[in-house]
C-alpha cells in the first residue's frame, strides 16, 4: 500500500477563549478541550492526521494570508465560532475569506462558497431547486413585517437573524401577545440586519432535530438532538441532549437530496458552479409532512467525529486523497 506524502495542514479556528462558550455541556460534562484552540471533537481528527505523519497546526482566522501557501499544503476552516459575535467580526471574517480566495492555497471548504452558507437565505435557494425547507420568510434590511398577523396565521413563530449560529438571536413568539410585544424590537432589528421569520414547528419539541454529517458528499453518520423539557433549542450548550444514531429513512432521504443539491442551489444564488464540499452538516426536522431542511452548514459546524469509530480516519483519507481539491 502506498503511503500518502506528508502534508502541512492548517486548521482555521477562533481563539481558545471561545471554547468556554461551548464546553463542557450537561450532555457531555467530561468532553473537554485538551489542546486549545482545537475543539475536543476536532482533536480526534488532529490526532489521526498526526498519527498518519502529517503536521497539523491551528490558525486563528483573521491574520495575514499572503504567506499561508508557503507554510501549508491546505487549510481546513473548521470552527471560527466568533465570527458571528458582531457585525464587525462578521465583516472581518468575510474579508479574510476573500483574501484566502486570492491565494494559491487549497482551502476547504471553498472560500468563495462559504459566504453563501453563512447567510440563512440559502434556504430559499434550496427550496428553488426542489428541497423541502422549514417555511421561511426573508425580511431584508430596512423593511417592515407584521409579526402579529403572521402569528395569527401560524399560531407561533421563530425569529432568526440571517447570519447567526448556535441559536444566537433566536426569538420564540408563542402567541399574538408575544408577537405584539416583540414588534418594536423586531422593527429595530430589521433596521440593523436582515431577519428570517418561520412558523414554529411543534415537532422540534417532540421529534427533536437530526444532524446528518456528509464527508465529500457521502453520508457518514447521524446525531439526534432534543431540547430540554419545555424548551425549543436543541443545542447541547443550551441544555439540549444528543445521541448518536442513524436517522429514519425519511430524514436520510432528505439529507441525501440536500447534499446532492448543493451545487444547484449555489448556482441558483450565485450563477456559478461549486464543487462538492469536504464536509457538510445537514439539519432536518421530521414532521407529519415529511422531513424539512432546517440548516445546511459548511462553515463551522461540529462534525461529531466521536459518533462512530473510524470517522476521523475516513475524513483524513479524504484529505490525503485530495478527492475534492481544486
pLDDT of residue 2: 67
**Mean pLDDT of the 190-219 span:** 96
CATH of residue 187: 3.30.1490.20
* Domain boundary, last residue among 163, 179, 199: 199
Instruction: Identify whether 126 is part of a domain.
Output: yes
The contacts of residue 98 (CB under 8 Å, 6+ apart) are 111
Same domain, 141 and 230: no
Same domain, 192 and 280: no
For residues 217 and 278, the answer to whether their CB atoms sit within 8 Å is no
Q: Is the pLDDT of residue 168 over 80?
A: no
Same domain, 151 and 97: no
Instruction: Identify whether 326 is part of a domain.
Output: no
| Measured distance CA(175)–CA(173) in Å, rounded | 6
Same domain, 268 and 225: yes
pLDDT of residue 86: 86
- Global pTM value: 0.94
Counted domains in the chain: 3
Same domain, 155 and 290: no
Instruction: Identify whether 1 is part of a domain.
Output: no
Domain containing residue 28: 8-110+309-321
pLDDT band at 231 (very low <50, low <70, confident <90, very high): confident
CATH of residue 266: 3.30.470.20
Same domain, 240 and 187: no
Same domain, 165 and 23: no
Same domain, 54 and 99: yes
Instruction: Identify whether 39 is part of a domain.
Output: yes
Instruction: Identify whether 86 is part of a domain.
Output: yes
| Measured distance CA(172)–CA(18) in Å, rounded | 26
pLDDT band at 87 (very low <50, low <70, confident <90, very high): confident
179 compared with 163, residue with greater pLDDT: 179
Same domain, 128 and 255: yes
pLDDT band at 172 (very low <50, low <70, confident <90, very high): very high
pLDDT single digits (tens) 12-42: 999 999 999 999 998 899 999 999 999 999 9
Instruction: Identify whether 220 is part of a domain.
Output: yes
Q: Pairing state of beta strands 74-79 and 8-13?
A: parallel
| Measured distance CA(316)–CA(52) in Å, rounded | 9
Instruction: Identify whether 304 is part of a domain.
Output: no
Instruction: Identify whether 40 is part of a domain.
Output: yes
**Mean pLDDT of the 267-276 span:** 92
Same domain, 145 and 293: no
Amino acid at each position: 500500500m502506498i503511503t500518502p506524502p506528508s502534508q502541512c495542514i492548517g486548521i482555521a479556528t477562533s481563539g481558545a477563549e471561545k471554547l468556554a462558550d461551548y464546553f463542557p455541556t450537561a450532555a457531555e460534562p467530561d468532553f473537554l478541550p485538551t489542546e486549545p484552540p482545537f475543539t475536543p471533537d476536532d482533536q480526534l481528527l488532529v490526532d489521526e492526521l498526526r498519527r498518519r505523519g502529517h503536521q497539523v497546526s491551528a490558525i486563528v482566522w483573521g491574520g495575514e494570508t499572503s504567506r499561508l501557501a508557503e507554510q501549508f499544503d491546505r487549510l481546513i476552516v473548521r470552527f471560527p465560532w466568533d465570527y458571528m459575535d458582531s457585525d464587525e467580526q462578521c465583516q472581518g471574517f468575510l474579508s479574510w475569506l476573500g483574501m484566502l480566495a486570492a491565494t494559491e492555497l487549497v482551502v476547504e471548504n471553498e472560500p468563495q462558497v462559504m459566504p453563501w452558507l453563512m447567510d440563512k437565505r440559502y434556504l430559499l435557494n434550496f427550496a428553488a431547486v426542489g428541497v423541502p425547507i422549514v417555511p421561511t420568510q426573508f425580511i431584508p434590511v430596512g423593511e417592515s413585517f407584521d409579526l402579529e398577523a403572521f402569528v395569527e396565521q401560524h399560531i407561533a413563530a421563530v425569529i432568526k437573524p440571517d447570519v447567526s449560529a448556535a441559536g444566537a438571536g433566536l426569538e420564540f413568539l408563542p402567541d399574538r401577545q408575544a408577537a405584539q410585544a416583540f414588534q418594536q424590537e423586531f422593527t429595530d432589528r430589521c433596521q440593523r440586519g436582515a431577519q428570517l421569520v418561520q412558523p414554529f414547528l411543534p415537532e422540534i419539541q417532540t421529534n427533536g432535530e437530526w444532524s446528518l454529517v456528509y464527508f465529500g458528499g457521502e453520508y457518514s453518520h447521524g446525531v439526534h438532538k432534543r431540547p430540554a423539557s419545555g424548551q425549543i433549542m436543541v443545542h447541547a450548550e443550551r441544555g439540549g441532549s444528543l445521541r448518536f444514531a442513524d436517522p429514519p429513512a425519511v430524514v436520510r432521504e432528505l439529507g441525501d437530496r440536500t447534499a446532492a443539491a448543493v451545487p444547484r442551489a449555489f448556482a441558483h444564488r450565485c450563477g456559478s458552479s461549486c464543487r462538492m464540499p469536504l464536509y457538510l452538516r445537514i439539519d432536518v426536522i421530521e414532521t407529519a409532512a415529511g422531513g424539512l431542511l432546517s440548516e445546511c452548514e459548511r462553515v463551522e459546524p461540529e462534525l461529531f467525529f466521536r459518533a462512530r469509530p473510524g470517522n476521523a480516519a475516513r475524513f483524513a483519507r479524504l484529505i490525503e486523497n485530495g478527492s475534492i481539491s481544486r
